[in-house]
Chains A and B, each alone.
Chain A
Amino acid sequence: MDETRVRGLLQRAAAGQEQPSRVDVELARSRGRRKLRWRRAGLAGASAAAVVAVAVAAVAIPGSHGAAPGRGKVPQAHGPATAPSRFNPLRPYATFGWLPAGESLAQGTDSTNDVDLTAGTGPAWELKVYAAGFCDLTSREVLRRLGLHQQPQLECSKGVNGAMYQVTSVAAARVDGHTAFWTADQTYLIWQYANHGWAVLTSPIRDASSVALKVARGVRYGAAGPPIKFQLQSVNVPRGWTILVVSFWPDAGVLRGYLYAAAGTGADAGGAIFSAGPATAMSSCYPGRNSPRETINGYQVVVNHYPASNGSPPGLRVCAPDADGVAVTVATSGSHASPDAVSIFRRHLRILGTNPADWTTQPLG
Chain B
Amino acid sequence: MQTRRDAEFSEYVAARLGFLRRVAYLLCRDWDGADDLVQRALIKLYVHWARAQAADHTDAYARVIVVREFLIERRSGWSRRVRLDAQPPDAAAAETDHDAALDVRSALFGLPPRQRATLVLRYYCDLSVEQSAWALGCSAGTVKSQTAKGIEALRRALDQEARHG
The chain A residues found within 8 Å of chain B, CB to CB, are 1, 3, 6-7, 9-19, 21-25, 27-29, 31-33, 35-36, 39, 109, 111, 113, 116, 118, 121-124, 126, 128, 159-161, 163, 184-185, 187, 202, 204, 206, 244-245, 247, 259, 261, 263, 271-273, 275, 286, 288-290, 306-307, 309-310, 312, 315, 317, 329, 331-333
Chain B proximity of A138: nearest CB distance (Å): 23
Which residues of chain A come closer than 8 Å to B18, judged between CB atoms?
Answer: 18
Chain B proximity of A115: nearest CB distance (Å): 10
Partner of A9, one of B65, B108, B141: B108
Which residues of chain B come closer than 8 Å to A10, judged between CB atoms?
Answer: 26, 104, 108, 119-120, 123-124
69-96 of chain B: CB within 8 A of chain A: 72, 75-78, 80-94, 96
Do B21 and A116 have beta carbons less than 8 Å apart? no
Which of B77, B89, B141 has the most CB atoms of chain A within a 10 A radius of its CB?
B77
Which single residue of chain B is at the shortest CB-CB distance from A108? B76
Question: Other than the known A28-B46, A317-B86, what 8 A-B pairs have Cβ atoms closer than 8 Å?
Answer: A10-B26, A13-B104, A16-B96, A18-B21, A245-B82, A273-B85, A289-B92, A315-B84
Chain A contact residues, majority secondary structure? mixed
Which residues of chain B come closer than 8 Å to A332, judged between CB atoms?
Answer: 84
Partner of A25, one of B10, B72, B83, B91: B10
Do A121 and B85 have beta carbons less than 8 Å apart? no
Do B151 and A23 have beta carbons less than 8 Å apart? no
Do A24 and B75 have beta carbons less than 8 Å apart? no
**Shortest Cβ-Cβ A-B pairs, 5 listed:** A32-B46, A28-B42, A161-B77, A109-B76, A306-B88
Which residues of chain B come closer than 8 Å to A333, judged between CB atoms?
Answer: 83-85, 88
121-155 of chain B: CB within 8 A of chain A: 123-124, 134, 137-139, 141-142, 151, 154-155
Which single residue of chain A is at the shortest CB-CB distance from B21? A21
Do A16 and B80 have beta carbons less than 8 Å apart? no
Take A6-B119, A13-B101, A123-B68 as given contacts and tell me if A244 and B138 are in contact as well, using a CB distance cutoff of 8 Å. no
CA distance A312 to B84 in the complex (A): 9
Do A28 and B88 have beta carbons less than 8 Å apart? no
Which residues of chain B come closer than 8 Å to A289, judged between CB atoms?
Answer: 92
Do A306 and B120 have beta carbons less than 8 Å apart? no
Which residues of chain B come closer than 8 Å to A244, judged between CB atoms?
Answer: 81-82
CA distance A159 to B82 in the complex (A): 11
Do B21 and A128 have beta carbons less than 8 Å apart? no
How many chain B residues touch A (Cβ–Cβ < 8 Å)?
73
Do B89 and A310 have beta carbons less than 8 Å apart? yes
Which single residue of chain A is at the shortest CB-CB distance from B68? A123
Do B39 and A3 have beta carbons less than 8 Å apart? no
Which residues of chain B come closer than 8 Å to A204, judged between CB atoms?
Answer: 137
CA distance A263 to B89 in the complex (A): 21
Chain B proximity of A247: nearest CB distance (Å): 7
Between A and B, 7 residue pairs with Cβ closer than 8 Å are A7-B123, A10-B124, A39-B47, A109-B78, A122-B47, A261-B78, A333-B88
Which single residue of chain B is at the shortest CB-CB distance from A110? B76
CA distance A22 to B42 in the complex (A): 13
Which single residue of chain B is at the shortest CB-CB distance from A1? B155
Do A122 and B93 have beta carbons less than 8 Å apart? no
Do B13 and A310 have beta carbons less than 8 Å apart? no
Which single residue of chain B is at the shortest CB-CB distance from A286? B32
Do A309 and B89 have beta carbons less than 8 Å apart? yes
Which single residue of chain B is at the shortest CB-CB distance from A245? B81
Do B89 and A306 have beta carbons less than 8 Å apart? yes
Do B93 and A272 have beta carbons less than 8 Å apart? no
Which residues of chain A come closer than 8 Å to B38, judged between CB atoms?
Answer: 23
Which residues of chain A come closer than 8 Å to B138, judged between CB atoms?
Answer: 184-185, 187
CA distance A291 to B48 in the complex (A): 38
Q: Is B58 an interface residue (CB 8 A)?
A: no
CA distance A23 to B45 in the complex (A): 14
Do B96 and A17 have beta carbons less than 8 Å apart? yes
CA distance A275 to B75 in the complex (A): 19
Which single residue of chain B is at the shortest CB-CB distance from A19? B31
Do A23 and B35 have beta carbons less than 8 Å apart? yes
Which of B48, B84, B137, B151 has the most CB atoms of chain A within a 10 A radius of its CB?
B84
CA distance A5 to B129 in the complex (A): 18
CA distance A19 to B96 in the complex (A): 11
Which residues of chain B come closer than 8 Å to A9, judged between CB atoms?
Answer: 104, 107-108, 154, 158
Do A187 and B137 have beta carbons less than 8 Å apart? yes
Partner of A16, one of B23, B75, B105: B105
Take A13-B26, A160-B81, A271-B82 as given contacts and tell me if A122 and B39 are in contact as well, using a CB distance cutoff of 8 Å. no
Do A14 and B25 have beta carbons less than 8 Å apart? yes
Which single residue of chain B is at the shortest CB-CB distance from A168? B139
Which residues of chain A come closer than 8 Å to B89, judged between CB atoms?
Answer: 306, 309-310, 312
